Amino acid sequence: MQRFSTDSASRALIYSHRFQDFSFGQEHPFKIDRYWLAYELIGELGLLCLPGVRQIECPMAPESMLTSFHCPDYLATLKEFSADQTPRANFRYGLGDVENPVFPGVYEWSLLGCGGTVEAARLVVEEGVRVAFNLAGGYHHAHAARASGFSYLNDAVVAIQSLVDRGLRVAYVDIDAHHGDGVQEAFYSSDRVLTISLHETGDDFFPNTGFPHELGEGDGYGFSVNVPFARHSDDLIFEQAFRGVVLPMIEAFRPDVLVTQMGVDTLRTDPLSRLEMTTGTIEFATRSFCELDIPWVCLGGGGYCKVNVARSWALLWAILAGAAVPDELPPRFVSTIRKLGYDNTLLRDHPRLAQPNDFARAQGALERSLAILKRRLFPLHGIDLEAER
């Protein structure tokens, strides 16, 4: 485990008003203006002008870095289609379908998201920033030569590879409702990157991967960790998985840098998932990562209710900035979202647990997954089979 100098009071928020220049389309579930809404709420809560807080303009990723993971032919096709005003499609590369539309500037849009994550990693390693949060990061489904799941460039993989090239060990933890399949694919044979994904089960949910038996291969065997959740899993299920797997694995791996994907499509009101979590899970995970005291690259991710995204990431940033915030949304923000058709007034969700029968099924599924991981994974890392947090 390498140690480099960090400023424990320094936090960086990476954002750009250029995000609003792009759109996946009116009917597409991925709404880019969720970033603007999150940024507005963070500002309304007074979280942008605190001591130690830095705002960083999101840069575009250097194209030379992309081939550390992505295939040149795929990149060339993405760039060509992006510059063409005529709709194009190449299904071999996953481009141009309903899921991954080709829209004007899609390549530049992807470079922005990727650039923010690369910059976050640089800030943490070179400038000693304690944690850097790229709202427009976390495109964990992009594969080496295929767009997938609204993701065209895998920013996490490109940034993590840059850290590995420096000789650093990286732990990647993904709490999005969808399995982080692209990141797992990239480092499935590596013992320099620990990938952990907590997500809704892939039995009948995109991307249909992420099962406990997916443990890595070759040198990477034992460094790929998956905890699938049954539908209706709630905050209590999440906390058990986090304490039972995430914390002991990070402690055993002893990474130099932590990278997390903080998707909020796990919330019970998200239209694409069937989990029953609340903003309490986001706050719990954020506080837990903070307590690890590891240089941290924090990324956005999924979330298809725009107000959920804004509320969750504002709470996340408040914790990172060490600021207390009220339970109610600011009146001006309430007025803003009412014009968009939302009637929320609460910043935090009320605590909520799944119905007893749903919880029992989710608990049983979790216990089966934990049993597999403790039996097959923990001995490889010298973790006590009874380890709990």
pLDDT confidence tier of residue 389, bands split at 50, 70 and 90: very low
What is the per-residue pLDDT for 60?
A: 98
- pLDDT tens digits, one per residue of 31-52: 999 999 999 999 999 999 999 9
297 sits in which H/E element: strand 296-299
Active site residue 178: no
Class of domain 7-381: alpha beta
- Mean pLDDT of the region 340-347: 96
* Spatial CA neighbour of 207 closest among 184, 234, 186, 224: 184
Domain ranges of the chain: 7-381
Q: pLDDT band at 295, cuts 50/70/90?
A: very high
How many other β-carbons are positioned within 10 Å of the β-carbon of residue 3?
7
Maximum distance among all alpha carbons in the chain? 59
- What average pLDDT does the chain have? 96
Please check the confidence at residue 9 and state whether its pLDDT lies above 90: no
* Annotated catalytic residue, options 141, 179, 199, 232: 141
- 127 in Cβ contact with 140 (< 8 Å): no
190: tokens are 């590596």
User: How many whole angstroms separate alpha carbon 336 and alpha carbon 343?
Assistant: 10
